[in-house]
Amino acid sequence: MATETTEAAGACVDAGGSALGMPQLCADWMSNQVFWLVVTLVAIFFVMTRIALPRIGAVLAERSGTITNDLAAAEELKNKATEAEAAYEKALVDARAEAAKIVAEAKAEIQAELDVELQKADAEIAAKTAESEAAIAEIRDGAVKSVTAVAKDTAKALVASMGGTADAKTITAAVNARMKG
């Protein structure tokens, strides 16, 4: 029986049943290895084409769709942001115009009140000035009368101290002449 095993195994196995060298490189077994290689590759090909590649393709298509949708959403959000910015700028311009209008109205109102108060103050000042001028004129007239009376009394006293006599008419004429310049 030992001889049968050797003959059946061929040139790749020794009499003890051990492989001679590397069994993968044995020419007698090459056809068997090529057959199983082809069977394995065909099985892998069918598994890849029927199961793995469609799943990968679906994932890639889904990913591409998601990216496209995200880009479209981003573009829409960008447009909305641009519109919001334009609305904000318009609102800002309107607010500034309204603020300028309010400031102008307030200035006009304050200026009108100021003009009224200035007119009142000018009227009061004019009235007080007129009163003061009347009082000054009265004081001046009183002072002139007082100076004239003092001058007459002084002239009478001087004439009397020098030993002369003067009548009131002469003294009045002399004081009036002197007062006129």
Instruction: Give me the pLDDT at residue 181, please.
Output: 66
pLDDT digits (tens, 9 = 90+) for 114-127: 999 999 999 999 99
Give the total number of structural domains in the chain.
1
- pTM, to two decimals: 0.41
Average pLDDT taken over every residue of the chain: 87
Judged against a pLDDT cut of 60, whether residue 7 lies above it is answered with no
Encode 152-177: b = buried (16+ Cβ within 10 Å), e = exposed. Answer: beebbeebeeeeeebeeeebeeebee
More confident residue, 171 or 97: 97
Q: Which domain holds residue 52?
A: 2-180
Burial (CB < 10 A; 0-12, 13-18, 19+), residue 21, is: exposed
pLDDT digits (tens, 9 = 90+) for 56-72: 999 999 999 999 999 99
